Amino acid sequence: MILTLFVTRHAAKRARLKAVKYTANTHKTNPFVNGSLTDQSRFAAMSPELAQFFKAEAEPVKLPFGVNGNMTERGQITRNPKLKAIADRADEIVALWKEAERRKLMAAKAEAEKQLKALEAK
């Protein structure tokens, strides 16, 4: 009886959230993206269920790539060959970005050392 009630409520909640039309315009007006804490609190008080959905939608997407990648999530993604190819290419791109940044910093370091030597020679 209790399980049936729980399943029914859960199914009803899923159906209500599935009916929500969340578009780019909706995102712009999402109080968890652009609103104040007051706006967020009012929204949560009016509709806690909907507010929870909007708060989740406001979170930035995090992909398991690069140094800070989540290995568990990465393992799940790489089970699909198409997604594995995308993830592998993303890792290559991250490595290229890091190498470009490293070169830029090394050049700046060399220039700073050159300027330091010139200053010390005076």
| Residue ranges covered by each domain of the chain | 1-60, 64-122
Q: Give the per-residue pLDDT at 103.
A: 97
Predicted TM-score of the model (pTM): 0.50
Does residue 6 carry a pLDDT above 60?
A: no
The tens digit of pLDDT for each residue in 59-116 reads: 887 776 666 667 788 888 888 999 889 888 988 998 899 999 999 999 999 999 999 9
CA–CA dist 105, 67 (Å, integer): 19
Beta carbons of 40 and 10 less than 8 angstroms apart: no
By the 10 Å C-beta count (0-12 exposed, 13-18 middle, 19+ buried), 21 is classed as: exposed
Answer with the residue of higher pLDDT: 12 or 84: 84
Show the tokens assigned to 101. Answer: 């940044």
Take residue 88 and report the two structure tokens written for it. 């592998």
At 5, is the pLDDT very low, low, confident or very high (cuts 50, 70, 90)?
A: low
